[in-house]
Amino acid sequence: MKEDLVLSVGGSILLPEDENVSHIKDIAEVILEASKERKLYLVIGGGSTARKYINWGRELGANEATLDDLGIETSRLNARLLIIALGRAVYSVPAKNFDEAVSAGNHYPIVTMGGTHPGHTTDAVAAMLAERLHVKRMINVTSVDGVYTADPKKDPDAEHIEKMEYDRLIEIVSKGERGAGPNIVFDPLAAKIIKRANIVTQIVSGYDLENLRKTIDNEDFSGTTVSSI
Ligand code: UTP
């Protein structure tokens, strides 16, 4: 068996805006193939469904912690959809906490989780799970092809960064927004956890599935690698 891996999969990747399930099927195929050689722990995000519910809850007057709960529930809902697409190789429910994920991993090649507690995103859950499992490499599967010097959707001068140290990532993501449902490339808490546990983190686009396969197989890939060097 090859090394165990934790993948943080953005909800926006599973269900792109057109709300078509074909991408889930294609991602499930890549994951099933990779799980023949290694254990995979997938932490799924809430994506546009989370943002929709968080916006509605905010309009209705909910506080940030209550909005976070909406995000957590939608991430679990998305994880359930992926579980359906993965079939029998996966633990049949999203693990609610790290203990459950660890024990499920002793029996299944694939385990999923959604969010856990208010105050962070599923990237941070993925980093905590990787630390807990002593996993040394984590992949953040997101809607952009890596980390840029600024938000590439807003700033035309933003430059792609291929390799960076943990501290540089912490500096870049700490400039982002606060509150429920932020949309930054990587959670600042997750960035601090990968630094303290020295978890090499590769940030890749979830739309290019051949590139995702290469990343999982630790081949040359296109994206950003964050490590201690
Ligand atoms: P996501 O992890 O989906 O955040 O959690 P995101 O950055 O919007 O990621 P994408 O778009 O899926 O890639 C959605 C929201 O759920 C709450 C937070 O409010 C977060 O912004 N959440 C999630 C928690 O409060 N705790 C968790 O453990 C996870």
d(CA 162, CA 210): 18
Whether ligand 1 lies within 6 angstroms of the CB of 146 is answered as no
Q: Whole-angstrom distance between the N-terminal and C-terminal Cα of the chain?
A: 27
Cα 46 to ligand 1 centre (Å): 6
Look-up of token digits 């939608």 = 74
For residue 218, is pLDDT > 80?
A: yes
Render pLDDT for 185-212 as a digit per residue (tens, 0 to 9).
Answer: 889 999 999 999 999 999 999 999 999 9
Q: Residue 177: which pLDDT band, with cuts at 50, 70 and 90?
A: low
CATH number of 38's domain = 3.40.1160.10
Structure tokens at 39: 């254990």
For residue 55, is pLDDT > 90?
A: yes
Task: Pick the residue whose CA is nearest to atom 27 on ligand 1.
Answer: 115
Structure tokens at 154: 């807003």
For residue 19, is pLDDT > 90?
A: no
d(CA 83, CA 52): 22
| Cβ atoms of residues 31 and 84 within 8 Å | no
Q: What is the pLDDT of residue 185?
A: 82
Please count the structural domains in the chain: 1
Cα 192 to ligand 1 centre (Å): 17
Mean pLDDT value across residues 5-30: 90
Q: What is the pLDDT of residue 183?
A: 64
Mean pLDDT (the chain, rounded): 94
Mean pLDDT value across residues 169-196: 84
For residue 64, is pLDDT > 70?
A: yes
d(CA 150, CA 207): 21
User: How far is CA 157 from each of CA 148, 170, 177, rounded to the nearest angstrom?
Assistant: 10, 20, 20
Q: What is the pLDDT of residue 16?
A: 76
Counting ligand 1 atoms within 8 A of each CB, the residue from 49, 72, 120, 121 with the most, and so the one to mutate, is 121
Structural domain containing residue 22: 5-227
Provide the whole-model pTM.
Answer: 0.95
Cα 88 to ligand 1 centre (Å): 27
Task: Pick the residue whose CA is nearest to atom 11 on ligand 1.
Answer: 47
